[in-house]
């Protein structure tokens, strides 16, 4: 048993959808979350910049004596993690768990992936899927407007539907039956995306699958918390804590009860 906290980082708010899933599957675990809100978004940055930011995020979490890290950011997972050396604890990205879930659930072997421009350009989802099941077909679409749509409160509006119809048209035409939501902001658009793609397409949340993988890894290595009762969560951001607190509840699915701390990185 290990009562040290789980560390989670993202470029901003989206990783809270992963924290929400962690709280659901492992309610007695402590969590330390870092959102790099001063430098969001990562999705339109160069590879070198994304790698540098990711190293900063990991270094900050390591200061809190964590036992495992989740890179709850599709961009950091796809672009930066291949260039991150061993940091002394397990670092989980959101790609492979989502890929394995999609392969398990697809019926026709045609899998769609949506994400930020950097995530899609990296082609990492397709590479991982091909390494596991070469016969699977992967079709990808960058959806750069989804993040600002969500963060500005337009997730369940006609604005979101107009943008989503345009982004998803090609994937619908390709006949995918499984769609990986390759950014942790996208679960807030799950209803809109599901309506457009139709009942025959299963949506795979990268944050949810990463949380399930984290639970399995900790259990398999004897690292689950041994305490009874609900774990504690700490939230840190690199910019305005007040703004994060106001929007954070939307992603977390509940009010952020504790104060959000400003971190200098």
pLDDT over threshold 90, residue 247:
no
Please check whether residue 184 is in contact with residue 71, taking contact to mean a CB–CB distance below 8 angstroms.
no
Q: What is the DSSP letter of 86?
A: P
Rounded CA-CA distance 57/116 in Å is: 19
Question: In the chain, what are the domains?
Answer: 6-93+208-262 (3.40.50.1860), 95-206 (3.40.50.1860)
> What integer best gives the mean pLDDT of the chain?
94
pLDDT classification of 67: cutoffs 50, 70, 90: very high
Catalytic residue among 18, 99, 143, 183: 183
pLDDT classification of 71: cutoffs 50, 70, 90: very high
pLDDT, one tens digit per residue, over 117-135 is 989 999 999 999 999 999 9
**Residue carrying structure tokens 């040290």:** 4
Catalytic residue among 73, 99, 143, 214: 73
In the residue annotation, 143 being an active-site residue is answered as no
In the residue annotation, 214 being an active-site residue is answered as no
* Whole-number pLDDT of residue 43: 83
Rounded CA-CA distance 34/36 in Å is: 6
For residue 41, whether the previous peptide bond is cis, meaning omega lies within 30 degrees of 0, is yes
């Amino acid at each position: 048993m290990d009562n040290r906290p789980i560390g989670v980082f993202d470029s901003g708010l989206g990783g809270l959808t992963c924290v929400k899933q962690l709280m659901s599957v492992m309610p007695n675990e402590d969590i330390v979350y870092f959102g790099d809100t001063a430098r969001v978004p990562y999705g339109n940055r160069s590879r070198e910049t994304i790698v540098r930011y990711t190293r900063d995020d990991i270094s900050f979490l390591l200061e809190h004596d964590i036992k495992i890290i989740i890179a709850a950011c599709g961009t950091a997972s796809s672009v930066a993690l291949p260039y991150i050396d061993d940091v002394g604890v397990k670092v989980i990205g959101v790609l492979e768990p989502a890929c394995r879930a999609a392969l398990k659930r697809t019926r026709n072997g045609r899998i769609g992936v949506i994400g930020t421009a950097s995530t899609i350009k990296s082609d990492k989802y397709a590479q991982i899927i091909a390494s596991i099941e070469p016969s699977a077909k992967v079709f990808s679409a960058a959806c750069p407007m989804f993040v600002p749509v969500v963060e500005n409160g337009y997730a369940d509006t006609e604005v979101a539907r107009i943008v989503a119809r345009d982004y998803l048209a090609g994937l619908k035409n390709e006949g995918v039956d499984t769609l990986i939501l390759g950014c942790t902001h996208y679960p807030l658009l799950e209803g809109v995306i599901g309506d457009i793609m139709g009942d025959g397409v299963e949506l795979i949340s990268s944050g949810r699958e990463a949380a399930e993988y984290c639970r399995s890894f900790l259990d398999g290595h004897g690292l689950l918390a041994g305490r009874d009762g609900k774990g504690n969560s700490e939230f840190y951001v690199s910019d305005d804590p007040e703004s994060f607190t106001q929007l954070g509840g939307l992603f977390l699915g509940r009010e952020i009860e504790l104060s959000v701390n400003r971190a200098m990185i």
